[in-house]
Amino acid sequence: GNSVTQMEGPVTLSEEAFLTINCTYTATGYPSLFWYVQYPGEGLQLLLKATKADDKGSNKGFEATYRKETTSFHLEKGSVQVSDSAVYFCALSPSGSGNQFYFGTGTSLTVIP
Amino acid sequence: DADVTQTPRNRITKTGKRIMLECSQTKGHDRMYWYRQDPGLGLRLIYYSFDVKDINKGEISDGYSVSRQAQAKFSLSLESAIPNQTALYFCATSDQQGTEAFFGQGTRLTVV
């Protein structure tokens, strides 16, 4: 089956700290992988994605690399800001026309000044 | 205007009442989804539709029904609301390749 497991939160970091949020997946075939971000009171929005092995998605200083050998897609940022405080969701979309999206449980990040 | 619009944004209803949550999208996508978000559980799929004539149950469809009135409209109904259906509900849409899901801003439903 298809599933996503991500690091439980909440995570609290000081401004300019390094961020890692772990995500591993189980999927048939070659899924696309995503990180979505949910700011307070808002819906989810795409942060970055990768569609094949060894691809690196990046946006707003965040990066994640599609690692097929370890079935992982860890999110990293070198220096977090207060404005990065949000809930982060790892997700996958299996290959093939019958795809849907599978989400992890979300990791809440709070960045303190 | 938002690509995916959900109405209402907030709703309080009583146990046993019927309620409908509406979703419309301007992306021109065929695929639409309804998710439920609960603390610690992430997003769980309730129903999804790959086109107007194709409706599928998701992980947690019991107690819910949907209607795909047009390509752009996908509504979720709770026939007889119960308190454990209190949650944040999201509608989403994607293209056929699943390259990205676009979400509405959510409907916060409270059943008392």
Each residue's pLDDT tens digit, B100-111: 899 999 999 999
Closest CA to A15 of A75, A77, A90: A77
Confidence of residue B41 (pLDDT cuts 50, 70, 90): confident
**Does pLDDT of B98 surpass 90?**
no
Whether B33 and chain A come into contact, CB under 8 Å, resolves to yes
Higher pLDDT, B15 or A30: B15
Buried b (16+ CB within 10 A) or exposed e, A52-88: eeeeebeeeebbbbbbeeebbbbbebeebeeebbbbb
Residue of A nearest to B97 (CA): A97
Each residue's pLDDT tens digit, A65-98: 999 999 999 999 999 999 999 999 999 998 765 6
Considering only CB atoms, B40 lies closest to which of A34, A100, A105, namely A105
**Does pLDDT of B95 surpass 90?**
no
**Does pLDDT of B7 surpass 70?**
yes
